[in-house]
Amino acid sequence: MRLAAPQETLRIIGRYGLHPKKKYGQNFLISEDVVYGILDAAGVTKEDCVLEIGPGIGTMTGYLSEAAREVVCVEIDRSLAKIHEETLADCPNVTVRYEDVLKTDLQEIAESANGGKPMKVVANLPYYVTTPILMELLKKIELFESITVMVQKEVAARVCAAPGSKDCGAITYAVQYYAEPEVMLRVPPSSFIPRPEVDSCVLRLTAYKEPPVKADEELMFALIRAAFNQRRKTLANALANGLDYHGKKISRGAAAAAITSLGLPETVRGERLSLAEFAALADRVRFDIN
């Protein structure tokens, strides 16, 4: 069943008395052009096992079923199961798991559905929980060949930002450590029912075989979080006031010495550092945290 048309989506909504739930950020896609754009961006083929997060009423799922070998959907809203019985009736290669993806065993899905080989992720992410889901996927990046997601335009800008730009944030470094991000498609509010209040983008994250920098990953991200939790402060002050690494702290003097040892000014702010500089900083401060 092809649902990527307003009349089909409205028919399903009317037939089942469906009221999109704000708590789940439900906005149903009604543009076939966008659907095909997502499929092209994800590069789905008959060789692929696709993990779809948040299938909604099954709009994208039907197209994924035709394009992929197997599709595993994770949907938090169990009340959509009855609708899926109709909309996915002709999709024998689709399995829907009614779970919170943040509590789902993604390793088990990769093993049972794809023999442990990397899957491709396709998702129209609820805006309220975009960052937690992205971070959960990135922490398990070895399970995925690529991650193609619909996100709020502002999130896409932060993910793809360059260090020193106004959009740069902690998520910039987190994503760019694990994957190469690229905006593939811009999507207007008119592509959804109900219309969101913001523009969207389709973002593709292509997993790196190896991270672009060598780093103590846990410590580096602790530094990044501290830097951006107080981004108006200098990096030295932000680390002295905000770094908590397994209950350990760093003095302002030690932080400043480590920063200047990299050839950076003592007054530099965290957003000015590159990923490689944060990696080097983690190496420098290792023995100064106590």
Please give the full DSSP string across the chain, using - where no structure is assigned: ----SHHHHHHHHHHTT----GGGT--EE--HHHHHHHHHHHT--TT-EEEEE--TTTHHHHHHHHHSSEEEEE-S-GGGHHHHHHHTTT-TTEEEE-S-GGGS-HHHHHHHHHTTPPEEEEEE--GGGHHHHHHHHHHTGGGEEEEEEEEEHHHHHHHTPPTTSTT--HHHHHHHHHEEEEEEEEE-GGGEESPPSS-EEEEEEEEPSS-SS---HHHHHHHHHHHHHTTTS-HHHHHHHH--BTTB---HHHHHHHHHHTT--TT--GGG--HHHHHHHHHHHGGG--
Give tens-digit pLDDT for 19-38: 877 777 788 899 999 999 99
Assigned domain for 1 exists: no
**Residues 201 and 221 occupy one common structural domain:** no
Q: Can you tell me the mean pLDDT for 55-73?
A: 96
Give pTM, 2 decimals: 0.90
Lowest mean pLDDT among 9-23, 76-90, 239-253: 9-23
* Residue 101 in this model has a pLDDT that exceeds 90: yes
Task: Give residue 122's pLDDT.
Answer: 97
Percent of the chain with pLDDT over 90: 83
Q: Based on the fold, state whether residues 82 and 121 are members of the same structural domain.
A: yes
Q: With bands split at pLDDT 50, 70 and 90, how would you rate the model's confidence at 60? A: very high
Residue type at position 233: K
Q: At residue 162, what are phi and psi to the nearest 5 degrees? A: -95, 145
Note the pLDDT tens digit of each residue in 227-248.
Answer: 999 988 999 999 999 999 999 9
Q: What is the pLDDT of residues 113-152, one digit of tens each?
A: 999 999 999 998 888 899 999 999 999 999 999 999 999 9
Same domain, 245 and 276: yes
**Are residues 170 and 75 located together in one domain of the fold?**
yes
Quick one: pLDDT at residue 4? 80
| CATH number of the domain that residue 194 is part of | 3.40.50.150
Among 139, 174, 207, the domain boundary falls at 207
Q: Same domain, yes or no, for 130 and 255? A: no
Mean pLDDT value across the chain: 94
pLDDT of residue 44: 96
Give the number of domains in the chain: 2
What CATH number is given to the structural domain containing 249? 1.10.8.100
- 66 and 197: one domain? yes
Final residue belonging to a domain, choices 157, 176, 207: 207
pLDDT of res. 18: 86
The range of the structural domain enclosing residue 39 comes to: 6-207
Q: Give yes or no: residues 202 and 227 share one domain.
A: no
- Asked whether residue 52 falls in the same domain as residue 194, the answer is yes
**Residues 29-51, mean pLDDT to the nearest whole number:** 96
What span, in angstroms and rounded, lies between the C-alpha atoms of 144 and 207? Answer: 7
Per-residue pLDDT band at 265 (split at 50, 70, 90)? very high
User: Where a domain ends, among 180, 207, 234?
Assistant: 207
Per-residue pLDDT at 163 exceeds 70: yes
Per-residue confidence (pLDDT) for residue 22, from 0 to 100: 74
For residue 1, what pLDDT is reported? Answer: 63
